[in-house]
Homo-oligomer: A and B are copies of this chain.
Amino acid sequence: MSTSGSVGIIHPQCFEFAAQQPFELESGALLSPVSVAYETYGRLNAGRSNAVLAEHALSGGAHAAGYDESGRLGWWDDCIGPGKAFDTDRYFVICSNVLGGCYGSSGPSSTNPATGQPYGLRFPVVTVGDMVRAQVALIDHLGIDRLLCVTGGSMGGMQALEWAAHHPRRVKAAIPLASTARSSPMLIAFSEVGRQAIYSDPNWQGGDYYNSGHKPDAGLALARMIGHITYLSDQSMHQKFGRRLQNREKFGYEFETEFQIESYLKHKGNSFTQRFDANSYLYITKAMDYFDLGVPDGLPAAFARSVGIEYLVVSFTSDWLYPSYHSKELVSALTAVGADISYLDIQSSWGHDAFLLEVETMTGLIRSFMDRVAREEGIDG
């Protein structure tokens, strides 16, 4: 295990709140207590002005950088660490698991204090707004008044935009990557098919599978396979797999896995079931479906209070799940209210996954944007 250029081995932390006073969700439902699992990288400066909140996407968790206790690398280790895009020699980077997740924060697999059993579907439906309000409680707890930057890709970008729109005083800058200010019907469609795959698995048992000895692995694997298709692009599939066969030279004329692309998807689907909770997949996709900053008064109105924030908006040309027009629509709304905005549509063949893969281009871009933001805050370079 190499730790050069790395934040090293990271120990997870957990913040618990709302034990006395329940946390009220957008739906009106109450949750008590609420746990937020998080990790931090780098050091908070004396002025508490150098905090960056990194927001994870659908399948991520708080472990964004360095190695966890089992030696697993964080999901955004390419961009968080000494000398990286989010330079931990300068910034105090925080990442927390979303509400509804399965990596330590309160979610459907958590214990329901009313029954002593896992919540299952009795866990209340949460929104991106709820996820972010739990993060507000976390930074209050950490004594941070204002985040230097909030950033993330995909659903992580939704959270960054939610911070900007609804907690503008708490944010100096926002970097939404490969994201959108509102879920499109195509995103909802893919979410729903993934959920139906889980519901259809008899092992799902209405969500009460935790103590049954059977999990809806087939359904969750299927949902993940569908997801992985949408994270790639037609072009990247040609490059990575083409029509090549897996471990065979000719067609078998049978219903076995024959093409490399099939093998890749099956592997991704199966390995996902080892690390993710099917009910969390339901809750998190539902939160994404609900996400629409344009309600009720349109996108410009949503950002009217956040004109002081500096934005770096990034999209990727081959991303067909969150196509560039989503980011352009956002840029147009931000421009309409006179926000300070930089936008780049990065040429990439990697599809939606590009926000995790186009490290070099993103590093240059983010470093330069963060330099400016930090300089304005008087943070030493």
Contacts and interface: CB of A to CB of B under 8 A. Distances in A.
B185 A197 contact: no
Interface string A236-277: 011011110000000101110111111001100100000000
Nearest to A240: B185
B290 A195 contact: no
A207 to B, nearest CB: 9
Interface in A116-170: 121, 124-125
A353 to B, nearest CB: 14
A29 interface: yes
A27 interface: yes
Contact of A253 (B27, B196, B229, B282): B27
Given A189-B261, A200-B219, A225-B196, A184 B234 contact: yes
Q: Is the interface of A mostly helix, strand, loop or mixed?
A: helix
Identical subunits present? 2
Given A184-B237, A222-B197, A225-B196, A292 B243 contact: yes
Given A183-B243, A255-B282, 16 more contacts: A182-B243, A185-B242, A185-B259, A185-B261, A186-B237, A192-B261, A192-B262, A193-B265, A196-B225, A196-B266, A196-B269, A197-B222, A199-B255, A200-B219, A258-B289, A320-B320
Interface residues of A, number: 60
B184 A196 contact: no
